[in-house]
Amino acid sequence: MPKYYRKVKYIFIVLILFFVLCVTGTNYAKNNDIEEEKPNNIVNVNNNNSQPDTLTSTPNPPSVEPENKYFTVNVDNEKIYDGELVLVNSNYECKFNGKNIISLINYKNSSYLVADGNVMLNSGNSLDALNSMMETFFQNTGLDNVIISCGFRDIDYQRRLYEREIANLGEEGKKWVAKPGYSEHQTGYTFDLSLLKNGLVEKFDGNGQYNWINENCKYYGYILRYPADKTDITMIYNEEWHFRYVGIPHAIYITENNLCFEEYIDYIKNISIKNPLNVSVSNAFNDNQNHNYQIYYVEASEGTSTNIPLPNEDCNYSISGNNIDGFIVTIDNIV
Ligand SMILES: [Zn+2]
């Protein structure tokens, strides 16, 4: 064979070998990808054990299928920082200044007191719930001396309060007053209670007949925000007078499971629409109805908005940001 042809032959063989290696390499990479995807699919199927789900009966479910069966609403990612379930503490700043703030003295009923005209709260569900709770408390105990001593505080007020407390107590003051921008009072969903006794203002500690409020506030959507046994998590000393509105099913779940709000927000992140948290409530808010609430979390998508899945178009739902990274959906089924 002439030298020239031998060279061509060798080049041809090298090219074939190179081609074979390339094809084998690509297949190997593809196989590796498939291997890596398998565990996720298995986890998805196992996660659906308590809810009937078409995904379980599909032999090889494509990863896009589960999303398609839900109705979705598109929510702006700015809303992560908005709503009744925003977690505000020393790590997570409140990004809004109340919601339709009103002066409580003009909206309260006669079953409780208010410190002065400067006590402000959000109007809406949380205000209606407070009025209803205090009215029922009065009907049950005959006591009308509970004072709402503090409600919404704007960031400037909180700054003055914080600086005064640090001046008085030094570093210790930080455990009593939240730093400006990081107070739950800025949400407008929070109030502090005190008592009027013999013309003097006393601390509210939830003892005696007043314990009715601590025991029943969950049925009106309120929680005692800083329990004595959770100070290592909340980083705020036991404040027996500080209540926060989060909505009925959430308040009931938090209270009955002895959680603080931080723990609840953490817990709910593992709850998806495929296997939602169910909370059944009868006659909450004295409405004589049975509610079957379904609660789940949706992580915010990258970009400017998130498609939030809903079980169906007609469901009665509300969506709140968690003030961290996503949304909590609450479906209210009246049964
Ligand atoms: Zn407070």
Task: Give tens-digit pLDDT for 121-170.
Answer: 999 999 999 999 999 999 999 999 999 999 999 988 889 989 999 999 88
The CATH number of residue 133's host domain is 3.30.1380.10
Q: From the CA of 225, how far away is ligand 1's center (Å)?
A: 9
The lowest-confidence range among 58-67, 199-208, 300-309, 320-329 is: 58-67
Q: From the CA of 190, how far away is ligand 1's center (Å)?
A: 7
Domain count across the chain = 3
Q: Given this model, what pLDDT does residue 238 score?
A: 86
Report the amino acid identity of residue 152.
F
CA distance linking residue 260 with residue 262, whole number of Å: 6
Q: From the CA of 157, how far away is ligand 1's center (Å)?
A: 13
Q: Given this model, what pLDDT does residue 178 score?
A: 82
Rounded mean pLDDT of 14-20? 46
Q: Which residue has the tokens 């959770």?
A: 230
118 and 217 fall within a common domain: yes
Domain C-terminal end among 189, 212, 245: 245
Domain C-terminal end among 227, 245, 263: 245
Q: What is the pTM of this model?
A: 0.78
For 58, the 3-state DSSP assignment is coil
What CA–CA distances, in Å, run from 127 to 17, 82, 99, 102, 148? 77, 17, 11, 10, 12
CB atoms within 10 A of CB 263: 15
153 and 130 fall within a common domain: yes
CA distance linking residue 290 with residue 239, whole number of Å: 32
Of 239, 262, 263, 299, the active-site residue reads: 239
Phi-psi region of 247 (alpha: psi -120 to 50; beta: other; left: phi over 0): left
Q: From the CA of 216, how far away is ligand 1's center (Å)?
A: 19
- pLDDT grade for 288, boundaries at 50, 70 and 90: confident
- Chain mean pLDDT for the chain: 84
Q: From the CA of 238, how far away is ligand 1's center (Å)?
A: 11
- pLDDT grade for 184, boundaries at 50, 70 and 90: very high
Q: From the CA of 282, how far away is ligand 1's center (Å)?
A: 29
241 and 284 fall within a common domain: no
175 and 38 fall within a common domain: no
167 and 305 fall within a common domain: no
Task: Give tens-digit pLDDT for 245-279.
Answer: 999 999 999 999 999 999 999 999 999 999 999 99
208 and 239 fall within a common domain: yes
163 is catalytic: no
Q: From the CA of 104, how far away is ligand 1's center (Å)?
A: 16
219 and 99 fall within a common domain: yes
Tell me which residue of 301, 285, 265, 22 sits closest to 128, measured CA to CA: 285
Domain of 157? 94-245
Q: From the CA of 236, how far away is ligand 1's center (Å)?
A: 10
